[in-house]
């Protein structure tokens, strides 16, 4: 069974006063940090901050290896003795926090050890960074933390040997690889509790909507923690690459997400005429303009160099677009029926005006309800269930990887809508141009971060 070390600390400048906590998960062999967590929690006591640091540290360890044995080391005699069962918990503020900490792992997997403050410098530094950030009206940002470097020079392991100091990301990458090899790491873990989603209630979570919001390349693999302000906790797992996390880190380390780069196929002859072109009979090829658009998309994706897999709708316009990109990137294309376009039934090949003239009542019903389908076609509610189920399969299969999905207007809009938790009518309020790029990152807890929508800069 894998072993992890959790060091946690908390502080209050006033007791009670402005308070924060910090926690770090360490590899017991190398001493390298595998995950960090810190948060400014407002006005609280030292003891509350200490307990919150413990909870955050245990949760970060559970994300890395839920079956691990955990050694908790803290300089709070109170927390160590209470969690070890030697002291009673009398204060009403402590009881729910202690119960929460006790519920993270089975009691048989966790031991507690008191250490002097000078041996808890990493967690102490994280707690102070969190309180400093709170003083500025902000939350702690993992990308600006120097706790690992500050603590490295003086912190020691149990045996008294000096902790390895150097590139924390590289050391953590080795530790993460060891976790994966042992079958206990986060790689390959699927999103829990995210079955097919009803269009009326789908989607939750952390969202960012532009490159500015995420602080970098929106098509690059998303950071280990997603972007949202005012979340209950903040953490960082040291990534396997040297790239620093970006955005507002919001929760305990969830590992690298599955990132879907969403490419609408290039133009067909039907596209400029705005004709219904779904999967119900019309299957046009790319036009000359569409082929040039596919080449432009291939060029920008090759320049970014982040796509690791290509998945395409079975329809010809997507397969042709995907083939152009695959040839440029040197990748294969896998066909996925779940991301095909809506079947528009009797409206296939018609313009909106023609559908209005021939099927006025059916069109009004279709615009009014996601459960209404074109005559002989497919409703948006059915598409949403199909796309959500496909999303779940793909995110489980491609955890931690960046995948290009070459697909259509409705599947892309549906993925974005579900990620944002937007209502069904939002499908009619998004513009999605031919050969445009969008991107959504999916995390193991079921949340999503929209990183890009309808980017056509590569076509200009």
List the binding residues for substrate: 317
**Cβ contact 60:224 at 8 Å:** no
Backbone angles phi, psi at 104, to 5 degrees: -70, -45
Q: Are strands 309-312 and 69-74 parallel, antiparallel or unpaired?
A: unpaired
Query: What would the two tokens of residue 166 be?
Result: 């150097």
**Cβ contact 118:155 at 8 Å:** no
**In angstroms, rounded to a whole number, what is the distance separating the alpha carbons of residues 258 and 188?**
10
List the catalytic residue out of 341, 348, 362, 378.
341
List the catalytic residue out of 7, 50, 129, 265.
265
Backbone angles phi, psi at 87, to 5 degrees: -115, 145
Output the 3-class SS for 271-298: CCCCECCCCCCCCCCECHHHHHHHHHHH
Contacts of 436 (CB under 8 A, 6+ apart): 263, 264, 454, 455, 456
β-sheet with 234-237: strand ranges across:
110-114, 69-74, 3-12, 17-26, 33-44, 234-237
**In angstroms, rounded to a whole number, what is the distance separating the alpha carbons of residues 420 and 438?**
13
Output the 3-class SS for 321-375: HHHHHHHHHCCCEEECHHHCCCCCHHHCCCEHHHHHHHCHHHHHHHHHCCCCCCC
Separation in Å, CA 362 to CA 80, 345, 366, 368, 428: 67, 12, 6, 10, 17
Query: What would the two tokens of residue 263 be?
Result: 């490419």
The annotated binding site is made up of: 317
Cα–Cα–Cα angle for 160, 161, 166, rounded to 5 degrees: 135
Q: Catalytic residue at 341?
A: yes
Cα–Cα–Cα angle for 293, 299, 300, rounded to 5 degrees: 95
**Cβ contact 50:10 at 8 Å:** yes
By annotation, the residues acting in catalysis are: 265, 341
């Amino acid at each position: 069974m894998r072993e992890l070390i959790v060091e946690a600390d908390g502080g209050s400048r006033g007791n009670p006063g402005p308070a924060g906590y910090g926690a770090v998960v360490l590899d017991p062999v190398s001493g390298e940090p595998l995950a960090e967590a810190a948060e400014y929690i407002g006005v609280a006591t030292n003891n509350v901050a200490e307990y919150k640091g413990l909870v955050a540290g245990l949760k970060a360890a559970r994300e890395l290896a839920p079956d691990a044995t955990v050694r908790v080391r803290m300089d709070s005699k109170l927390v160590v003795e209470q969690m070890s069962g030697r002291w009673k918990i009398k204060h009403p503020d402590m009881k729910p926090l202690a119960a929460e900490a006790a519920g993270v792992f089975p009691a048989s997997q966790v031991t507690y050890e008191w250490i002097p403050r000078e041996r808890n410098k990493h967690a102490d530094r994280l707690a102070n960074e969190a309180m400093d950030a709170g003083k500025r009206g902000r939350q702690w940002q993992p990308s600006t933390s120097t706790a690992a470097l500050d603590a490295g020079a003086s912190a020691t392991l149990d045996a008294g040997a000096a902790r390895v100091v150097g590139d924390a990301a590289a050391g953590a990458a080795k530790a993460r690889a060891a976790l994966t090899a042992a079958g206990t790491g986060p790689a390959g873990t699927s999103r829990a509790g995210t079955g097919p989603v009803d269009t009326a209630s789908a989607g939750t979570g952390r969202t960012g909507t532009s490159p500015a919001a995420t602080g970098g390349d929106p098509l690059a693999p998303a950071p280990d923690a997603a972007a949202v302000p005012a979340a209950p906790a903040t953490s960082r797992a040291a990534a396997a690459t040297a790239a620093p996390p970006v955005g507002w880190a919001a929760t305990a380390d969830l590992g690298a997400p599955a990132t879907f780069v969403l490419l609408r196929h290039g133009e067909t002859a039907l596209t400029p005429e705005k004709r219904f072109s779904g999967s119900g009979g019309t299957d046009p090829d790319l036009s000359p303009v569409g082929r040039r658009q596919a080449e432009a998309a291939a060029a920008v994706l090759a320049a970014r160099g982040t796509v690791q897999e290509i998945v395409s709708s079975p329809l010809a316009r997507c397969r042709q677009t995907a083939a152009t990109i695959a040839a440029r990137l040197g990748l294969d294309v896998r066909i996925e029926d779940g991301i095909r376009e809506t079947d528009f039934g009797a409206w296939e090949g018609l313009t909106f005006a023609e559908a209005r003239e021939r099927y006025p009542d059916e069109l009004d019903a279709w615009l009014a309800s996601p459960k209404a389908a074109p005559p002989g076609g497919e409703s948006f509610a059915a598409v949403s269930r199909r796309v959500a189920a496909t999303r779940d399969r793909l995110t489980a299969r491609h955890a931690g990887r960046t995948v290009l999905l070459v697909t259509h207007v409705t599947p892309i809009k549906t993925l974005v809508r579900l990620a944002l938790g937007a209502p069904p009518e939002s499908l009619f309020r998004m513009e999605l141009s031919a050969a445009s790029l969008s991107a959504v990152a999916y995390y193991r807890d079921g949340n999503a971060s929209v990183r890009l929508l309808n980017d056509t800069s590569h076509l200009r």
